[in-house]
Structures are given as structure tokens and as C-alpha cells.
Amino acid sequence: MKLLVISDVHGRRDRVEQALAQQTDCATVLFLGDGLREVEDVADNHPERSFVMVPGNCDFSALLPATRLEIWGGKRVMMTHGHRYHAKHGLTTLYLAAQERQADILLFGHTHQPLQLYEDGLYILNPGSLGYEGTYGLLEITSAGIMTNVVRLT
């Protein structure tokens, strides 16, 4: 199972479309906030894909949870934007929240800085900013294990 992870779109609907075009084998798109309206518009045009979203600090949605815990490929995946966990000041609060939820994978955005890390059994991925830097993440969960990758739009 291969999942497309995007965050911090900040008005760049065109870049969401580019990422989808580059990753045609990702049936599920995980959006980590900041650009919710644009991503919802793109999602409406792509009914063949499943979009799972959390809002960011620049989004206003009373309907979406700020943090989600989902299961893909038997792995517990925590999704959040990161601002409520002070992501710009370090990973400690995020890490503890993921541990509390017994997550195998932590996905967050907000910092606009791509990050891939494996610490104490927890895979951590920040895809960076699709809107500003043109980066997105790939999360692959198979029987062989978990792989994360950060990709730049081409």
C-alpha cells in the first residue's frame, strides 16, 4: 500500500494536481493541513482517490478532527498538522502524543521542513511544504515493512 502525503499547500492547487499526476499509483492521499479548501476542490475532481484530511493553523474547519489515528496495512498512523503540538519547537510533544496513541507512524506538517526519522520504533514523516518548496511524502506499508520518502515535484 502506497500513500501520498501532502501538507502546507497554501493556495497552490496546481501543485496538488502535479503531485497526483506524478503518483498515479497512490489511491489514498493524506493531507496534513494548510490549504484545506484547495485540497477539497481537487478531491472533488478526483473521485477515484480517497482523501483523508486534518486542518492546519491556516484552515477553518469545525468538521475535521485536528488529529486522526487511522490504520493502513495493519499499522497505526497518527496524522496532525503539528501546530497544536508545537512542532516548530521540536518533536517532543508530537512524539509523546504518538506514543500515547500507540502509533507506528507519525505524519505532521506545519514547519515546511521535510523530515524522515525512525526513533524508538516510530516512523516520523514531515513531507515539507507542497506550496512553497514543492515537496511531498510517500508512505509505503507492505508485509516487508514501512518505507518513507520525500519527493520534490519535477
30 vs 139: CA distance, rounded Å = 10
- Provide the pLDDT for residue 112: 98
- In this structure, what CATH number is given to the domain that contains residue 142? 3.60.21.10
Q: Which domain holds residue 41?
A: 2-152
pLDDT at residue 13 tops 90: yes
CB–CB of 108/81 below 8 Å?
yes
57 vs 153: CA distance, rounded Å = 24
pTM: 0.97
Question: How many domains does the chain contain in total?
Answer: 1
CB–CB of 106/146 below 8 Å?
no
- The pLDDT > 70 percentage for the chain reads 100
127 vs 114: CA distance, rounded Å = 5
Grid coordinates belonging to 74: 495493519
Confidence grade of residue 63 (pLDDT, cut at 50, 70, 90): confident
pLDDT at residue 62 tops 80: no
Confidence grade of residue 71 (pLDDT, cut at 50, 70, 90): very high
